[in-house]
Chain A
């Protein structure tokens, strides 16, 4: 290997690949956890855009869910004493928090659906309203309810530790570890991705949804209620945004900070495009962004050494802030490369009205 590593420039690249292979299995569960809110956000985006509605308010929905889920769980835990905890460290307050988080995102989705579908207002403005309202309202309520109660919180879901005979399996062991060494929300992600993928391309609902997103007039002619289906899909999409928010405060961190979504809702939109509006593709894209993120965090902690010291020297020179912006840079690059090659649903962004009722 030393011969390969020694080649100028190309050798560094080979060292880089070797480093990724070396750290990959150990950070795989972290990658999935980082990808979780992004992928759930992307599922929300797919539900919307496949039926012809743009939703740039996913970021705001996530933030509101994260906040209200956290506050609901925190106050429930503070007012009633629960000493029972089930698998994953599930307590009634945390479950209540998840329910509230999902409920809040669904309510916001109803607002988005009403503005986009019934009022036929501009869809990007509707999303912007949700984003600005979320940032303002959670920032405001954070100061009133959370800042004076620093001990507020109901804890988080525990991650499940898969038995060693599974994770020690050759080849698939680290994959099992990646998907199973998780809390319940992250673990459920892959199930939702597969179910949605199958439903979208193999069910009557999926066919109708795609029809409504591509050519609503034709779908209407065939007797599909375009507006009702769009409503339903946008609202169900809200469930995913709610789970993304719940993950942030009730599974990953156990605390809330103003603006804690830090652009994940927008990265999710890029994943939808890069994944060509398919759940599996978007999940793959989310893993890519999460990989860039996890890589940046790992380089500082476990720098490449030994044979790979040459690479370590190069990576060590790069300032820490650079690794921090890796996911954002990757998003821009991927978006620039993917758009144009992946074709969006034809009716995306266009409100629908029956013939003769356009105004």
Chain B
């Protein structure tokens, strides 16, 4: 493809998502102004500008801020790929939260156990344990769907709650550190991922490279391998895959395990790279961000990478926004929902900006997700 054609197709694919983000920011501004004027009685039209200003100041204004943005984006890339690969295979992984938590738990427990070994042994062991724990937790809903037809939309949500309780139980009980002021696991010590960029006490750790490496790997898997072809075929049409001699059940189990592996890697990376231990109330909502990221990136690894960077930026800057302008960080979730709304109902975006229809903005394989709901194949 010539560079010019490539640019044209990138523009065609990216226009609606970009406009959806823009509309999301506008809606976020409206929520800020309205809720502020209701609670304080003052209508402050400058608030959104100052809020978004401090959002940028906290995320891109210097090296420290940029490192924070990238390290916020790190788990988002991995969890986004987890949800995105699921979409490609016609599966809706709302369970990335639980798989992330199991990855974090596996890495924290193993990391604490091997904290005294040399990093060359401790890091792979703890990371591997987290990845495996995540994969195992993805395997469960995959197996349930393949063998019993229980839809992953319900089972994965239930598993999210079970993961939270499991962490609560293990971290207050068998895994707790004696002498700590609150229930938490032991420090991962030598299993900690080394800082590679920015301040030595900062968050720019090796996990960043791990996430960036996952992007081309996911691309090669999806678009350049037999397995990826089979996964996409099942996603496009389970019955066609069956007639072609593929085994949809096996692919569902494999894909969900892979989704779990990616989300588990994210959890392991967070623990080994940043927090170094987990508390009994450790939780996450990254799995929900990941849904938006995967859809914004049209379930394509490259799209997911850029979407994750955008959300990493918002997450990194939102703390400063809350401190300076007293806008709660939850505004990011509101913006996220509006972005999703405009992606799903892209006809609104097209009408407002008078763009002619092309390919659907939402991932086509989602049809399979919805049609298998209730057990009908």
Contact = CB atoms under 8 A, between A and B. Distances in A.
Interface of A: 49, 54, 56, 115, 119, 121-126, 128-129, 131-133, 135-137, 139-141, 143-145, 148, 262-263, 266-267, 269-270, 273, 319, 321-322, 324-325, 328-329, 331-332, 335-337, 339-340, 342-346, 348-350
B155 A332 contact: yes
A266 B158 contact: yes
B247 interface: no
Interface stretch (B203-211, B223-231, B287-295, B303-311): B287-295
A277 B369 CA distance: 20
A210 B333 CA distance: 37
Contacts of A332: 144, 150, 155, 158-159
B51 to A, nearest CB: 12
Contacts of A342: 375
A325 B285 CA distance: 19
B166 interface: yes
Smallest CB-CB A-B distances: 5 pairs: A136-B333, A344-B374, A133-B337, A140-B330, A321-B169
B154 A270 contact: yes
Contacts of A322: 165, 169
Contacts, number: 167
A6 B330 CA distance: 56
B144 A336 contact: yes
A139 B150 contact: no
A122 B332 CA distance: 23
A48 B5 CA distance: 45
Contact of B370 (A136, A139, A325, A349): A349
Contacts of B165: 321-322, 324-325
Interface of B is mostly: helix
Contact of A125 (B168, B295, B373): B295
Contacts of A270: 154
B150 A132 contact: no
Interface of B: 31, 35-36, 38-39, 92, 94, 144, 148-151, 153-155, 157-162, 165-166, 168-169, 173, 285, 288, 291-292, 295, 328, 330-334, 336-338, 340-341, 344-345, 347, 362, 366-367, 369-371, 373-376
Given A263-B158, A319-B173, A339-B148, A346 B376 contact: yes
Nearest to A121: B344
Contacts of B373: 54, 124, 344, 348-349
Given A122-B366, A335-B150, A144 B35 contact: yes
B341 A140 contact: no
Contacts of A337: 148
A125 B340 contact: yes
B225 to A, nearest CB: 27
Contact of A144 (B39, B173, B336): B39
Contact of B369 (A119, A122, A319, A339): A122
A315 B333 CA distance: 41
Contacts of A145: 35, 38-39
B234 to A, nearest CB: 17
A267 B159 CA distance: 12
Contacts of A325: 161-162, 165-166
Contacts of B153: 56, 124, 266, 269
Contacts of B330: 136-137, 139-140, 143
A119 B361 CA distance: 13
Given A119-B347, A143-B328, A124 B149 contact: no
23 contacts: A121-B344, A122-B370, A124-B92, A136-B337, A137-B31, A144-B328, A145-B38, A263-B161, A266-B153, A269-B153, A321-B169, A328-B162, A329-B158, A332-B159, A335-B144, A336-B144, A336-B150, A339-B151, A339-B375, A344-B373, A345-B374, A348-B374, A348-B376
A10 B353 CA distance: 70
A73 B376 CA distance: 43
B154 A331 contact: yes
Which of the listed residues A123, A128, A348 has the most CB atoms from chain B within 10 Å of its own CB? A128
Contact of B336 (A136, A328, A346, A349): A136
Nearest to A329: B162
